[in-house]
Structure 1
Amino acid sequence: MKGTVRLAEARGLAWWRRPVTLLFLMAIAMPLSFATWSALLNNFVIEVADFDGSDIGWLHTVREIPGFLAIGVIAIIIFVHEQTLALVSLTLLGVATALTAQFPELGGILTITMLSSIGFHYYETVNQSLQLQWLPKDRAPQMLGLLLAAASGATLVAYVAIVMTWEAFDLSYNFVYMASGGLTLAIVAWCVFAFPRFEAPNPQIKKMLLRRRYWLYYALQFMSGARRQIFVVFAGFMMVERFGFEVHEITALYLINLVANMIFAPLMGRAVFRFGERRTLAFEYIGLICVFLAYGGIYWFGWGVLVAAVLYVIDHIFFALALALKTYFQKIADPGDIAPTAAVAFTINHIAAVFLPALLGYLWLVSPTAVFLLAAGMAGVSLMLALMIPRHPEPGNETVFAAVLPAPAE
């Protein structure tokens, strides 16, 4: 990295060396590895390692352990700048993704998954912190939507490449994993040499931080993590196990998701700006309740693959509204709390993720419908919590109860 530049001075740099450009490049680098890994995962573990529902549950439990331990970021940033840690984490993700197919048995897959997950989760923790520090509050919803669209665009490129070449060139899992990990590493190398280190105006508290006035944000993060696991782990697995999707078919479904995200993510950022966090999150959770109940209907009523695919795309679109959680916290947070709270929130988000996939993997063997009914219930709890967000959140007005209750001592 070429020197240190204060955030206020970064406007004088060429556009391709500014903080926002770095955020966009990192947003592109991460999904090139992670999205490719995810697209091939279900087919890879079923065809190569003969996974069943229990095995896939354990894999995702292992994958989420680093997310649960994301609080360790607080200790690391005492010695390592957040921007540096983000790039190091992306490097680990790229290397681990590139090596994934070298370990085709359960133990090896779990080990390489753990390493890639450390890179992914530590990057996501630090990236969230950098976004909230570097983006102005009045533009954050729109910019977060554009960053999400950029990540979707990068994933779109990866998915199109898989769909167009997997059967045509009879590609191997090893080749695709190597290529995607290598592209991530190339972008990271450019970021290291092209950008200075940016210093935000507000020094971050570098110790574990739990504030009582952030309790609603913590609760929403916990429910988001628990609910999302069911979609991430079992929705895609269902498409392969129940409907026999092959690699290029499941990737084509992901491709549709990405196009939808590129179109709707910027619009959702504008919706958060216009309607506020409470209304947009409530809309998301009502939609997710309906989607998860409909997933159950696939097993109740024997609905076909078209219904399942449509639900999968709608489900994915709703999850994009989660950017409202970031802007809600940005509005209520003290500026110096962003980095430590991002780490704590990531850990809270992954508490359920550590045990839920493995536990629900056993439930899946008995009743897939019960898994999706449980997800609908979680979305209902999230809806009740979202209704506690005030119309105009800010420090001292974190919940709808803040006006009638005295502020708690920290």
Structure 2
Amino acid sequence: MTQQKRQQAVRLFAAVLALTALANGLGSNIFSNYFNEVFHIDSVQRGFIEIPRESPGILCMVLVAALGFMGNLWMSVVAQALVLVGLIVMGWMSPGYGTMLVFLFIHSLGMHLFMPLNDAISMDLAEKGKVGETLGKFKGVNTLFSMVAAVLVFLGFRTGLFSFEAGTILPFALGAVTTAAAIVLLVMMVRSMPRGEGVKNHKLLFRKRYMPYYMVTLANGCQKRIKIVFAPWVIINLLGQGADTVALLTIVVHLAGTWLAPVIGRMLDRLGVKKMLLLEALYIAVSFSVMGWLAGMLAGGTFGLRDPLTWLVYGAYVLCVLFEQFNMVHSYMMRSIALDPSEVTRTLSVGLSVDHVMAIIASPVMGMIWKAWGVQYVFAAAMLSALLQVAAAAMTEK
């Protein structure tokens, strides 16, 4: 690929990531409020509802192996088409609980299929020696437009323009529009770029050499439950806040992440995977323990909604969710230990499936832990999973 075509592809893919970030921010990022306000679920149900939402992650490795002949870009088109179908049904058709779960699954299948493809395409577009920097820049674009989506959600719900009570759920409908635009840009990329080789071997790929990567994805599956489920549930359930408050916190998270992602990318190129995994583990241990301690006091009635300590809960929430910026370290590690570049996408998809096996197990278990012993033990369990990052770092050369 010529330098000019590479730059054109980088610009197009950055636009794709911007549009998909808007769709995610207007869709999946407010699902917790959607479940709470439309279907009135409790903490145990909130844990179990993650099964249809996260089980597509397990199927991801099968889909990538089966559809690999299409190449990463065409698979991305398929992924976004599935997201589009889910958003159309949930946004315009007011489905009942059972129907919602079906199309939540379809939406989630598309989102999860795109995850390893996103990282693989990003690394393919990177210049030699600048993989971490390129991942950081793309992550920064994603984070910036996730923040824009959060601003729209905040203003929409605060002004009454957005509502879960209307026949058309406007943020989901807008997410469908941006997803359709992303599909158009992906098709443009397919037509403007030389066709890469598809995956010739359609067998699922497991190698002992890739064990450190599988370990960090296993840990990440547990840790993401905090970001996606239980940290927002502290804000929604214990503090009684609505979608506008969650969106405002998300704006702060993404504003910080827009700065942090490129920094982590540059540190990754400079320090290497081993040190960055240890830094990630330390960050998770500190941020999760603080959030768990504060949430436990809040649940126990030590302080209330008007207490100044509430602001510390909001701050701890931001720190907890920011850990996702370290995800690029995992993809970079996989690329650095791959025996062959053609194995990267398939192994990323296997790692995503490992992540989601843990997610499906951890979500209901953590929901029951919350109900039986208290919210602080949910955060403690997620914090302990960071030991897998430490172990993976010990197995990594540099």
Q: Do both share a fold (TM > 0.5)?
A: yes
Aligned positions of 1:17-28 closer than 5 A: 18=9, 20-28=10-18
Question: Does 2:349 match 1:353?
Answer: no
Aligned-residue Cα RMSD (Å) equals: 2.1
1:216 touches 1:385 (CA, 8 Å); kept in 2?
A: yes
Question: Does 2:232 match 1:236?
Answer: yes
Give the SS at the match of 1:206: coil
Pairwise CA distance, 1:201: 7.1
2:76 touches 2:113 (CA, 8 Å); kept in 1?
A: yes
C-alpha change, 1:33 and 1:254, in structure 2 (3 Å) is same
TM-score, length-scaled by structure 1: 0.87
Give the SS at the match of 1:198: coil
| Aligned positions, number | 381
For residue 188 of structure 1, what is the aligned residue in structure 2? 183
Aligned positions of 1:8-407 closer than 5 A: 8-9=1-2, 11-13=3-5, 15-16=7-8, 18=9, 20-101=10-91, 102-103=93-94, 105-173=96-164, 174-193=169-188, 195-196=190-191, 197-200=193-196, 205-302=201-298, 304-333=309-338, 334-366=340-372, 367-391=374-398
C-alpha change, 1:165 and 1:232, in structure 2 (3 Å) is closer
Pairwise CA distance, 1:262: 0.7
Long gaps (5+) in structure 2: 304-308
Pairwise CA distance, 1:103: 4.0
Partner Cα separation in structure 1 for residue 318 and residue 235 of structure 2: 12
Partner Cα separation in structure 1 for residue 96 and residue 198 of structure 2: 47
Give the SS at the match of 1:99: helix
The Cα offsets for residues 310-349 of structure 1, whole Å up to 9 and x where unpaired, read as 1111122232122111111111112221122122111112
Partner Cα separation in structure 1 for residue 60 and residue 198 of structure 2: 22
C-alpha change, 1:204 and 1:252, in structure 2 (3 Å) is farther
Pairwise CA distance, 1:365: 1.6
Pairwise CA distance, 1:221: 1.5
Partner Cα separation in structure 1 for residue 198 and residue 52 of structure 2: 35
Give the SS at the match of 2:56: helix
Which one has the bigger helix percentage? 2
Give the SS at the match of 1:322: helix
C-alpha change, 1:124 and 1:149, in structure 2 (3 Å) is same
Pairwise CA distance, 1:370: 1.5
1:204 touches 1:340 (CA, 8 Å); kept in 2?
A: no
C-alpha change, 1:141 and 1:15, in structure 2 (3 Å) is closer
2:71 touches 2:198 (CA, 8 Å); kept in 1?
A: no
Long gaps (5+) in structure 1: 1-7, 392-410
2:73 touches 2:186 (CA, 8 Å); kept in 1?
A: no
1:61 touches 1:354 (CA, 8 Å); kept in 2?
A: yes
Partner Cα separation in structure 2 for residue 139 and residue 71 of structure 1: 27
For residue 399 of structure 1, what is the aligned residue in structure 2? none
Partner Cα separation in structure 1 for residue 397 and residue 59 of structure 2: 31
C-alpha change, 1:385 and 1:22, in structure 2 (3 Å) is same
C-alpha change, 1:201 and 1:44, in structure 2 (3 Å) is closer
Counterpart amino acid of 1:183? Answer: T
C-alpha change, 1:380 and 1:213, in structure 2 (3 Å) is closer
Partner Cα separation in structure 2 for residue 95 and residue 201 of structure 1: 28
2:252 touches 2:318 (CA, 8 Å); kept in 1?
A: yes
Partner Cα separation in structure 2 for residue 241 and residue 89 of structure 1: 32
Counterpart amino acid of 2:41? Answer: F
